[in-house]
A and B are shown apart, each in its own frame.
Chain A
Amino acid sequence: MKGEPKIVRGTSLDRAGRRKKQIFLASYVPRLRYTWDTGEAIGRYLAELKRGRLIARRCRKCDRAMIPPRMFCERCFRPTDDWVYVKDTGTVNTFSLCYVSWDVRRLKRPEIPAVIEIDGASAGMGILHILKKVEPRSVRIGMRVKAVWKPRSQRVGSITDIAYWEPLPLRGSKV
């Protein structure tokens, strides 16, 4: 029985070879369209977003108010019990300053994705969203933020009905 092979096999293609068209290629751009049914829990979540409110779902057994809401508790593995309105304010749990778009274009001004823990939901219950109207360098974990809603007429029942989140003025300070 031999150990590590002296020569590792496989052939790397270099750019020069590609330019000279020494390689035969077949291309395919799939045109696939999907329509996702929202289900019970997320359907209500989106309906409430359209009304400008955030809603969670409570499990009476573990006493968690969960957002995004679900019809079953994954920990207790039983149905959840109640709908609970939560606030549209929260705390930055973590964030990034991202200089690359989803399709790998470079961005001059970074996007600021964040996990935001929602006031009124159980501790640690966050959602993914975007921060704006804030100097990137001044974003901090623990920062207090509030949702900025799109005007009622532009809301369609989507997570993007919240346009973005912006810092809450410090308590006691005037806006």
Chain B
Amino acid sequence: MTKFMRRALESPKELAWLASKAALDSAEMSIDQVGCVVLGSAPDAFDGMHMKGEYLSDGCGGWRKPFLRCYVGGGTGVYAVAQGWFQVASGLFDVALVVCEEKMSHCQPHPQAAFRTIFDPITEQPLKPNLLWIFALEQNRYMQRHGITLEEIARVSVKNKRNALDHPAAQLGAQLTVKDVLASEVIAWPVHRLMVSPTSDGAAAVILAAEGVARRATSKPIWIQGVGWCLDSAYWTNRDLYYPEYVEKAAWMAYRVAGIREPRKEINIAEPYDPFAYKELHHLEGLQLAPKGQAPKLLADGVFDRNGNLPATPSGGLLGVGNPIAAAGTMKICELFWQLRGEAGPRQVPGKPERGVAQAWGDLMQVGSVVVCGTKEPG
């Protein structure tokens, strides 16, 4: 992966190239061994490149190869890996290269204007909404339903930004206290500034290979054990936002494929999507890794710390490493890869984790995408 940064010198194409080459180097493979290329990237409005998939294809190693772009909003970075898995698991290809790229600094002065277009053009956009609204509305509903405090939410920012200090690609690692987070500007109550991930430029890539190829490439392959995704209704004001049912459905799909019945016992490490602090807790509940409304308490008890029972976002997440939309989800898959191989350096969680789950989220509070990875080949 590339560094995640406020503004990169490299063009989108160059960022995609750097991440793709790093993935190939890591697997000691050449582009000739890649059968197909899967690109994940957010709407064209962010890079300002119409037909961004075609524009990026050369940087992704897609020259004269079966190439496709997939997109499910913020859920893209994890979904793209599932999409790559389809290509290999179907038997069509032995090796798939999955690349996710985003360059948000192109949109001036701020990508907020691009985000505004996600709202319904007739019933919502005339109200001049901004993206913060939906997060603030959802966080408020979640807090109200369970009686959750802002202090409990702020702990996510503290943990993730601290974890990010150990990530070489991180944009916003920091040593903070709950007090610091709550003292930061209120931008859309109940959301404070330090509860929000930054806009970022960056790219991340992974190589997926069929069993035989993977075994020849390495003595320690990490297996994709399950994938799942689910989309809820775009009539988001007709849903109760306190709980992400679509994440639960996506998670159970992935767990079924992976043969998991009791996620809390069978998952050792989690990378839930954390574009805003409360989202990590919200998603841990959707992923069945905490009972509804209980994630804040487990966080306060240290369960989700890097040395806790169920480390959550040991990478530092979107809050700490950064949020180049699709690339952020793939960064979470990269983190599982390094953690499960025991190669995460100062970020390594103890206890030789055998199985991890990564999740991303997006569209109009609507999509959940989930991938389960592990050290054991699925049966």
Contact = CB atoms under 8 A, between A and B. Distances in A.
Given A4-B345, A12-B7, 11 more contacts: A4-B338, A9-B18, A10-B169, A12-B9, A94-B137, A95-B137, A102-B128, A103-B112, A125-B238, A128-B237, A129-B127
Given A9-B18, A98-B136, A93 B141 contact: yes
A102 B112 CA distance: 7
A8 B10 CA distance: 14
A9 B121 contact: no
Nearest to B22: A5
B266 interface: no
Interface string A76-105: 000000000000000001111111111110
Interface of A: 1-13, 23, 27-28, 30, 34, 36, 38, 42, 45-46, 66-68, 70, 74, 93-104, 110, 113-115, 124-130, 141, 158-160
A113 B189 contact: no
A42 B237 contact: no
Interface in B1-20: 1-3, 5-10, 15, 18
Contacts of A96: 132-133, 136-137, 140, 188-191
19 contacts: A1-B218, A2-B28, A3-B343, A4-B344, A8-B22, A8-B168, A10-B2, A10-B10, A38-B122, A68-B123, A93-B141, A94-B138, A98-B189, A99-B188, A100-B187, A102-B113, A102-B130, A124-B238, A128-B119
Contacts, number: 175
A93 B134 CA distance: 13
B124 interface: yes
Interface residues of B, number: 69
* 10 A-B pairs closest in CB distance: A3-B343, A96-B136, A10-B2, A1-B218, A11-B9, A97-B189, A10-B3, A94-B141, A12-B5, A98-B188
Given A5-B26, A94-B144, A95-B140, A102 B9 contact: no
Contacts of A141: 140-141, 144
Contacts of A67: 238
A10 B218 CA distance: 27
B173 interface: no
B112 A36 contact: no
Interface string B154-188: 00000000000000110000000000000001111
Contacts of B112: 102-104
A12 B188 contact: no
Interface string B200-225: 01110000000000000110100000
A46 B122 contact: yes
Contacts of B27: 1
Nearest to B240: A124
B126 interface: yes
Nearest to B1: A8
B128 A7 contact: no
A97 B186 contact: yes
B336 to A, nearest CB: 12
A127 B202 CA distance: 36
B291 interface: no
Contact of B8 (A11, A30, A114): A11
A127 B18 contact: no
A10 B8 contact: yes
Given A46-B122, A159-B124, A94 B140 contact: yes
Given A94-B241, A115-B137, A160 B9 contact: no
A130 B15 CA distance: 41
B144 A13 contact: no
B110 interface: yes
